[in-house]
Amino acid sequence: MEQSDLADQAEAAVQHKDSFFIGGTWVPATGRAPIPVIDPSTEEQVASVPAGEPADVDAAVSAARQAFAGWAALPADERGRLLGAAADVLEARTDEVAGLISREMGTPLAFSKAVQVGNPVRVLRSYAELLATYPFEEQIANSLIVKEPIGVVGAITPWNYPLHQVVAKVAAALAAGCTVVLKPSEVAPLSAYALAEIFEQVCLPAGVFNLVTGLGPVVGERIAAHPDVDMVSFTGSTQAGKRVMAVAAGTVKKVALELGGKSAFVILDDADLGKAVKVGLANCFINGGQTCTAWTRMLVPADKQDEVIELVRAAAGKYPVGPPTDEGTRIGPLANANQYKRVVGYIEQALADGATLVTGGPSRPEGLDKGYYVQPTVLADVRPGSRVEQEEVFGPVLAIIPYADEDEAIAIANGTPYGLAGGVFSGDQERAVRVARRMRTGMVDVNGGRFNPLAPFGGYKQSGNGRELGEYGLEEFLEVKSLQL
């Protein structure tokens, strides 16, 4: 076969998107400049999406505004029916959409099916079910309290859980009766296109959901600043969240932020160390460490640190790194080149600051010379206040930090600017709950408590404000009105 034929085949395999979903139809982008989507396992382009312009955002907001009154007036059970139908279609397309997500951001295929697609299916269904019972009105003395949709919502989402983070916002906003303009991450936008196709297939009314891809400083900032957007819901870095809040302040719109984390996993002195290490490491390394709630700081009794280190070293060997499509892979590549450089830089800095390397390190995993692969890395003797202990790495990097007593453990756990998540492990459930209550963080798992898609998701301090998922997530998109009768 000629080289030109091979090039033509490679080009044909690249998905070139050239339009946005606006007002219920696929509309050509005003700007023609494409944004490449790179497969992080091969460093090769697999798709492109258009770089939206302010005019594209304006068109999407206009469509959402026109659709708002009709959607808000639709009975809640009908909104629920459409969300349930979308869940059914998404579930039927699990293999296809999971493949897109693995290709665009590198998560192992099995994880993509179970979590990257499985969680959005569950969340869509949870809101469909919630709408059957949620009271949008209540009587308090002589006042009728009415909960009404806030209006047009701008949703800006990240690349690490590219569909779940979209659905967590969009499903709640639609359930509340709001209309949405979505800007997904340009790093991993393909699953958002699949969601738009699903909404089109289930006949969601035109303009209720609108999709515009592009860069944050252009599309994201236009959404945040737009005078006809009533609320912005953003998930991403704390730095970017601060910018969204500043831009949105000009119109005094509501802003919900789900930002970074530096979560602590406190192993108490009465814990089963083997079980605790297994649970803690799994949480740290989930999705290659590219999880805002990952327990990246393991706090251990100082007199048990050596024992914990040996257990961690053995357990870390059970996390093979490799291509997302390989059945045995537990950690795929990082999502992009910038993230790869960032994570390697943090490992190098930690070692320079005096941390002890338990396993892993900044060099590439053996046999993986192409792709954004890093070794799962564990660092011991990490000093509180050091960069790797304070800042979000967003990769498979665990810091082990010794503490003298329970009070010091709490002080270390609470000693970062973040407060998103955390964990406690103890042989005494009541003691673990007491420690969890002292942690200044929005979510704490006690002795390996499972993720609950109905529980509020969000954090304290610079981890953001507002909550997602379940009833609390729905209420983020509601205004409260009192009628005195």
Residues designated as active site: 258, 292
CA distance 398 to 286: 12
Q: How buried is residue 364: exposed, middle or buried, by Cβ count under 10 Å (0-12/13-18/19+)?
A: middle
Classify 281 as helix, strand or coil: helix
Helix (H, G, I), strand (E, B) or coil at 128: helix
Helices 190-201 and 164-176, axial angle in degrees (round to 10): 30
Q: Do 454 and 126 contact (CB within 8 A), yes or no?
A: yes
Based on its alpha-carbon atoms, the radius of gyration of the chain, rounded to whole angstroms, reads 23
Distance between CA atoms of residues 102 and 111, nearest Å: 9
Query: Which letter does DSSP use for residue 74 in this model?
Result: S
Phi/psi of residue 446, nearest 5 degrees: -105, 120
Q: What is the rounded CA–CA span in Å between residue 322 and residue 313?
A: 19
What does the alpha-carbon distance between residue 330 and residue 115 come to, in Å, rounded to a whole number?
A: 13
Beta-carbon count within 10 A of 354 CB: 11
d(CA 412, CA 364) in angstroms, rounded, equals: 31
The gap from C-alpha 6 to its chain's centroid, in whole angstroms, comes to 37
Whether the Cβ atoms of residue 200 and residue 172 lie closer than 8 Å to each other: no
* Dist. CA 59–CA 221, nearest whole Å: 15
Please give the Cα distance from 462 to 458 (Å, whole number): 11
Give CA–CA dist 162/169, Å, rounded: 12
Nearest to 325 by CA among 63, 168, 109: 109
For 167, phi then psi, to 5°, come to: -65, -35
The residue among 256, 216, 189 whose CA lies nearest residue 21 is 189
Structure tokens at 255: 């802003």
Q: Which two tokens stand for residue 117?
A: 């697609």
- Please give the sequence-ordered ranges of beta strands (E in DSSP) within 23-87, or none if there are none: 25-28, 34-39, 44-50
